[in-house]
Amino acid sequence: MTDRWFKIGLLVAPAFLITLVGGMAFTLMWGASSSFQQAGWGFYTQLTWDPVHHVYGGGVFILGSVVTTLLALCLAIPVALAIGLFTGYYFTTGPIAVMSQWVLDLLASVPSVIFGFWGLMVMVPAVRNIEMWLGVAPYGVGLFSGSVVLATMMIPLTASLIRESVATVSAELKEGALALGATPLEVVRHIVWPISLPGIGSAIMLGFGRAIGETMAVTMVVGNANHLPTHLFDPTNTIASLIASEFGETSDPVVVAHLIHLGLILLALSLAAGMLGRYIIRKQS
Amino acid sequence: MMSVPTTFRVIDLRVSIGVDAIIRGISMDFFANTVTSIMGPSGCGKTTFIRCMNRLHELVPSIQVSGDIVLFNQNIFSVNPMLIRRQVGMVFQRPNPFPTMSIFENVVAGYRLNGIRLAKSESSQIVETSLLKAGLWHEVKDSLHRKGAFLSGGQQQRLCIARALAMDPSVLLLDEPTSALDPKSTSHIEDLIAELKESVSIIMVTHNIGQASRVSDYTAFFLAGELVEYGTTQKLFTVPDDPRTEEYLSRKFG
Amino acid sequence: MHSSLGTDAKLSRRVLQDRLFKLILVGVALGVVLLLTTIIGFVIQQGISVINWSFFTHLPQPPGASHSGILNAILGTLMLTVLASLISIPVGIWCGVAMAEHPLHPLVKWAQVSVDGIQSIPSILFGIMAYLWVVVPMGQFSAVSGAVALSMIMLPIVIRAVEEAVRRVPTTMREASLALGVSPFRTTIKVVIPCALNGILTGSLLGVSRISGETAPLLFTAFGSPFLVISIFQPVQSMPILIYNYATSPYADWQQIGWGASLVLILFCFVLSVGTRWVFKR
């Protein structure tokens, strides 16, 4: 008797998960439906978000999210690659490697609100100094600060994933190349790099997916200005950050629908990155 | 040969997985209080065969079985497999004591896991007799409540035999029980098998011809899913009827 | 190629390139790791000064008042994580076991995609879902709604951990149990899950460590509260929300308390995530 229920339960579980995801998708679609109807495709090209005059466009936030994340990616990738190669290839054992790994694990477990806090208190004043020196408006907060904080948060995760991928390159191959007289750099370039490239690519995609949905740290330093940045240091806004600051504040169902619409776009971007990352991994193995 | 009571009767058993026929129509009887060896080259279906006898083959999703297996006049395919498995003990190729349980708990695992409550004195009694039968009692009696990880492979395998014997089975299935063990542990277990047949009928799969000739009363030779020859060990090893048996034995011994 | 192999000039150029690359790489890596370490150092340096006994036993006070504490946030975060765990650990074990038992079933394949999907959802969207599912019907912010949002973040972590742990239990364990006449249900409950317990625990604790620092999904679910709240149907304060509110406040002493709370939260997450990984590895 229990065994029949057990068998049924084992099949109900996956069905439950599929329904759960379906329910999530339905909830968001349903919540955003009035936004689809009212704004239509114009929502994506409209660059004004003005609740006072009832003009709602998502363009700024979509671009803001993508630009902030891409900039963060540009900052984080070289560093994450260096750390990944450092701990996955050059110093796989020994106190320095262990210490570095510890710091990375520790940082990976630090909640994003604390990165935001640090960004606000330490980095923003520093950026303000740079801005004064450069002669641009010294807000401190803005696109650049948002990207730097985001990059800081991405580095531990991306570096760990890259290290894992680099470390899977078999010792025989590396030793084989060294035995032919290659320098360690040439081993990296001709052996390690091509083999771990899919892993690195997927690490970057997963990092992108995580970063674009990241809310708190960005919302604290990006400036929350609902316009497109005109230069690197200009305050701007992202989807996640807009939702964080507006969703709880408004009781207007129209605004709620537009915010959920933006949330769906964010979801699509992050799902695409996640799926691409996983696709790269699967293709490799 | 027919004077001894039978345990299992296998009638035209055919097993296939997908399009591959694993067993192609085997019929044979097994006798009480004897050791029967099933030998043959790898891939001959001997492990699949023995796993059908307690219906453990059903773990393979796409497996197809026809024919009948009767145990003491009861068709095993017409009752709940759990009832059959409690009457028929099994020991596997690799020792597999439960790592989360102590030695004591491992021996009475068949009761505990089936939700059968035993009085404390009863379970102690079962543990002692089973471990004595398995020849392990004197080695472990002072550490019954420790987990079995410190035991050697041979000791672990004897613990698994004790676990099967604790359920007081009428038949014990051994699936290459010594294939993962060193020679000393192997001979220890072979001695044990010879002693055990007093109280339980044993059906053993082996890839080791020497083992079959040393411990078994009857031997069956399987080839490509068919039963080539079945008879007393002495006859099969000295004057086999079938040239394929002769060839297999000479090649293996040669 | 062949002839140039032996020339000294080429060899020394290759060696030079190699050294230079390694130097730059090690420099960048160590430099950034050091820089990142200073973040932790900064939190410790700022936070340690406000942490004392009354910090843990008092409620938050208005700016300028002494003996301000974070008791309500600590209890609130405990309440939220316990509630979320009560939802996602049982459900996660159930789903994880199911997915490990029938890996090839078409439903399970779709469920795999679903779990991947949930893992890619930005955490703030769980806040929106819990808002629409719980806050709107209940008519107010509450600890339950926050726990629902957090449990959806935790669920895929637990599922993946359980699935992997169950899959790693050797088939022979299952066979040994079945061969003793034990039912599939009892085999799973009494043999497979105990064998997989380490992995299940590790995954659950990693999940707890992950959600205990989540802020975004709580903004419009658990919301926050200056009071000590016992009811799970009331808005409740939490560590990350307290840090967010104090960090963005204009008062220096509130910010200082924010640093203290940050240090406590980092230690909590760190002990959970690194600690469990380290303990269960041996």
- Mean residue pLDDT across chain C: 90
Residue B100 has pLDDT above 60, yes or no: yes
Mean pLDDT over residues B8-31, rounded? 90
* CATH at B198: 3.40.50.300
Q: Which residues pair with C217 in a beta bridge?
A: none
Contact present, A282 and A198 (Cβ < 8 Å): no
Contact by Cβ (8 Å): A38, A254: yes
Structure tokens at A264: 């769906």
Q: Mind listing the pLDDT tens digit for each residue in A22-40?
A: 999 999 999 999 999 988 8
Domains and CATH numbers, chain A: 2-284 (1.10.3720.10)
Q: How confident is the model at residue A256 (pLDDT cuts 50, 70, 90)?
A: very high
The answer to whether the beta carbons of residues B4 and B232 sit under 8 Å apart is: no
pLDDT tier for residue A191 given thresholds of 50, 70 and 90: confident
Q: C58 to chain A nearest CA, in Å?
A: 22
* Spatial contact of A181 and C4, defined as CB atoms under 8 Å apart: no
Residues in chain C with CB shorter than 8 Å from the CB of A83 are: 28-29, 32-33
pLDDT of residue A243 exceeding 90, the answer is yes
CB-based contact A121 C247, cutoff 8 Å: yes
What is the token pair recorded at B20?
């591959």
Q: Which of A:37-76 have CB within 8 Å of C?
A: none
Q: Do C179 and B56 touch (CB under 8 A)?
A: yes
CB A191 within 8 A of CB A60: no
Q: How far apart are CA A12 and CA A10, in angstroms?
A: 6
B92 closest CA partner among C190, C182, C167, C179: C179
A71 three-class SS: helix
Contacts of C97 (CB under 8 A, 6+ apart): A10, A13, C162, C163, C166, C188, C192, C193
Tokens found for residue B143: 């550490």
Q: Are C112 and C179 in contact (CB under 8 A)?
A: no
Q: What's chain C's length in residues?
A: 282
pLDDT averages per 10-residue partition of chain C, 282 residues: 60 86 90 92 93 90 85 94 96 94 89 92 95 94 96 96 93 92 91 91 90 93 88 94 94 93 93 77 58
Containing C153, the helix (H) or strand (E) segment is helix C143-168
Interface contact flag, A14 C107, Cβ < 8 Å: yes
Nearest CA in chain C to A249: C220
Contact B109 C181 (CB under 8 A): no
3-state secondary structure string, A153-174? HHHHHHHHHHHHHHHCCCHHHH
- Higher pLDDT pick, A278 / C255: C255
Which residues, in sequence order, are bridge partners of residue B226?
Answer: B223
Q: Is B142 helix (H, G, I), strand (E, B) or coil?
A: coil
- At residue A132, the pLDDT reads 93
Q: Which site among B54, B56, B92, B100 would you substitute to test the C interface, given the most C Cβ atoms closer than 10 Å to its Cβ? A: B100
Q: Does residue A28 belong to the interface with chain C, where contact is any CB pair within 8 Å?
A: yes
Going by C-alpha positions, the residue among C25, C182, B13 that lies closest to residue A159 is: C25
pLDDT bin (cut points 50, 70, 90) of residue A250 is confident
Q: Structural domain tally of chain B?
A: 1
Mutate to test the interface with C, among B52, B54, B88, B96 (most CBs of C within 10 A): B96
Q: What residues are paired with B222 via a beta bridge? A: B227
* Mean pLDDT, residues B117-135: 90
> Nearest by CB to B109, which of C172, C180, C195?
C180
Q: Is there a domain that residue B63 lies in?
A: yes
Distance in angstroms (rounded) separating the CA atoms of residues C213 and B252: 66
Residues 6+ apart with CB under 8 A from B58: B81
Chains near A with 3+ CB pairs less than 8 A apart are C
Per residue in A171-181, pLDDT tens?
888 888 888 88
Cα–Cα distance for residue pair C273/C271, rounded to 1 Å: 6
Could you tell me which residues come within 8 angstroms of residue A137 by beta carbon, excluding any fewer than 6 positions away? A131, A233
- For residue B177, give Cα distances in angstroms to A83, B93, B180, B199, C67: 50, 5, 8, 19, 71
| In-domain check, residue B1 | no
Query: Which has the closest alpha carbon to C179: B90, A162, B142?
Result: B90
Query: How do strand B74-75 and strand B63-71 relate by DSSP bridges?
Result: antiparallel
Among the partner residues A6, A215, A266, nearest to C184 by beta-carbon distance: A6
Q: Which of C120, C133, C216 sits opposite A270 (nearest CB)?
A: C120
The predicted-structure confidence for C52-68, as pLDDT tens digits, reads as follows: 998 999 898 888 888 88
* Domain of B149, in residue numbers: 6-253
More confident: C282 or A97: A97
Which tens digits make up the pLDDT trace of B147-174? 887 888 889 999 999 999 999 899 999 9
Instruction: Quickly state the pLDDT bin for B1 (edges 50, 70, 90).
Output: very low
- Alpha helical stretches, state H, chain A: 2-39, 42-45, 59-85, 95-108, 112-118, 124-134, 143-167, 171-179, 184-187, 193-212, 216-221, 239-246, 253-284
Q: Is residue B114 part of a domain?
A: yes
Asked if residue B247 is part of any domain, the answer here is yes
- Among C195, C168, C186, C165, residue whose Cα is nearest residue B97: C195
**Residue C1: its pLDDT value, please?**
45
What does the pLDDT read at residue A285? Answer: 66
Q: How far is C53 from chain A (nearest CA, A)?
A: 22
| Residues of B in Cβ contact (< 8 Å) with C197 | 100
Q: Judging by beta carbons within 10 Å of its beta carbon (0-12, 13-18, 19+), is residue C268 exposed, middle or buried?
A: buried
Provide mean pLDDT across the span B190-213: 89
For residue A126, what are its two tokens? 């520093």
| Sheet of strand B171-175: strand arrangement | B88-91, B171-175, B201-206, B35-39, B218-223, B226-232
- 8 Å CB contact between C14 and A78: no
Residue B114 to residue C172, Cβ atoms within 8 A = no
What is the pLDDT at residue C165? 93
What does the pLDDT average to over A136-151?
Answer: 93
